[in-house]
């Protein structure tokens, strides 16, 4: 089905319909006894899903920022608690981490997204030059790529002709099939903003109870901070499971475990340093 999904992206609907009908008709219908699928496979639904793929980039950036923001910020809170320092110190260190580390992570994601886009453009220029200089050689590459997928005879030649009839489509096909590069790239600026926003929002949750340290006891402050962090771990982990098409429960559990492990380690380090230095 992966080959047909790609062809829906690069070929005209009429051409693809003819090819699809000649190749097979059984995949377009499903038995009522089949288990439910994650999404539909009609031509219209496939087109809609492929066009909206950029949403997954943003959701992935959000999960990346939220997980890291919660883990690192709560680790700082746990470390301060282990050292038996004041909630005010934890709040100052936590806010500094949220802003500085969030900005650093956003910049890193921006540079990564920009580099990915530059790689795609570099290979796009290479393929455009090769098509200009040796079009028959590039047609043969298309022929061999789809022959390896099981196409042959008239169907194979029609695929080659359809793809090669449009320069943009031709280059896109080579990027995906020869180099394994994605055609859709997330905006570097958008990736950075989503990452930073998620980092700040999720990372701020363990800090909210610390703002009330003057009206509630210190132990209750850290208990509420712990509860907020654990709930955030579960929520973000569930979203991560949805993004990766895995069990939301399993993903939430693994994220909770990793976050708790980082916080526990930080708490033990803080407690050890307090005993070693006599602080607190």
Six-digit token string for 270? 């803080």
Q: Is the pTM value of this prediction over 0.85?
A: no
Domain borders along the chain are 57-275
Share above pLDDT 70 across residues of the chain, in percent, rounded to a whole number: 80
DSSP assignment of 41-96 equals: -SHHHHHHHHHTTHHHHHHHHHHHHHHHHHHHHHHHHHHHHHTT--HHHHHHHHHH
The pLDDT value recorded for residue 182 is: 86
> Which pLDDT does position 258 carry in this prediction?
86
Nearest in space to 236 (alpha carbons), one of 14, 74, 29, 54: 74
CB count in 10 Å sphere of residue 245: 7
Instruction: Report the percentage of the chain scoring pLDDT > 90.
Output: 40
Q: How remote is the C-alpha of 225 from its chain's centroid?
A: 28
Residues 6+ apart with CB under 8 A from 165: none
pLDDT digits (tens, 9 = 90+) for 110-145: 999 999 999 999 999 999 999 999 999 999 999 999
224 vs 217: CA distance, rounded Å = 11
More confident residue, 102 or 210: 102
- Tokens for 170, please give them: 């031709």
C-beta separation of 107 from 192 below 8 A: yes
Sign of torsion, CA 165 170 172 173?
positive
For residues 194 and 64, give the distance between their C-alpha atoms in angstroms, rounded to a whole number.
9
Three-state SS for 196?
Answer: helix
Give per-residue burial for 57-85: e unless 16+ CB within 10 Å, then b.
bbbbbbbbbbbbbbbbbbbbbbbbbbbeb
The chain-wide mean pLDDT, for the chain, equals 82
Q: How far apart are CA 131 and CA 170, in angstroms?
A: 9
71 contacts 261 by C-beta, under 8 angstroms:
no
- pLDDT mean over 145-164: 94
Q: How far is the C-alpha of 205 from the C-alpha of 233, rounded, in Å?
A: 11
Joined together, the tokens standing for residue 224 give 């509420």
Q: What is the pLDDT of residues 36-70, one digit of tens each?
A: 676 777 888 777 776 665 555 688 889 889 988 98
More confident call, 185 vs 238: 238
* Cβ pair 77, 210 in contact under 8 A: yes
């Amino acid at each position: 089905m992966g080959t047909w999904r790609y062809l829906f992206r690069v070929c005209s609907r009429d051409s693809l319909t003819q090819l699809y009908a000649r190749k097979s008709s059984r995949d377009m219908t499903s038995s009522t006894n089949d288990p439910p699928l994650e999404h539909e496979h009609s031509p219209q639904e496939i087109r809609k899903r492929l066009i909206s793929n950029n949403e997954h980039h943003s959701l992935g950036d959000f999960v990346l920022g939220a997980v890291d923001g919660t883990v690192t910020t709560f680790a700082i809170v746990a470390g301060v608690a282990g050292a038996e320092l004041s909630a005010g110190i934890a709040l100052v260190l936590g806010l500094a981490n949220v802003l500085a580390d969030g900005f650093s992570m956003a910049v890193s994601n921006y540079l990564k997204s920009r580099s990915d886009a530059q790689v795609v453009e570099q290979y796009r220029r290479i393929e455009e030059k090769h098509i200009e200089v040796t079009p028959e050689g590039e047609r043969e590459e298309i022929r061999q790529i789809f022959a390896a997928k099981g196409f042959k005879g008239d169907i194979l030649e029609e695929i080659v002709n359809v793809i090669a009839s449009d320069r943009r489509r031709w280059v896109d096909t080579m990027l995906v099939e020869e180099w394994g590069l994605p055609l859709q790239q997330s905006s570097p600026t958008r990736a950075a903003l989503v990452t930073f926003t998620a980092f700040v929002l999720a990372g701020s949750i363990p800090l909210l109870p610390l703002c009330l340290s003057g009206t509630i006891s210190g132990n209750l402050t850290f208990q509420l901070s712990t509860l907020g962090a654990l709930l955030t771990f579960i929520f973000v982990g569930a979203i991560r499971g949805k993004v990766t098409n895995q069990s939301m429960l399993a993903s939430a559990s693994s994220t909770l475990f990793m976050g708790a492990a980082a916080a526990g380690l930080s708490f033990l380090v803080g407690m050890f340093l307090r005993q070693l230095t006599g602080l607190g």
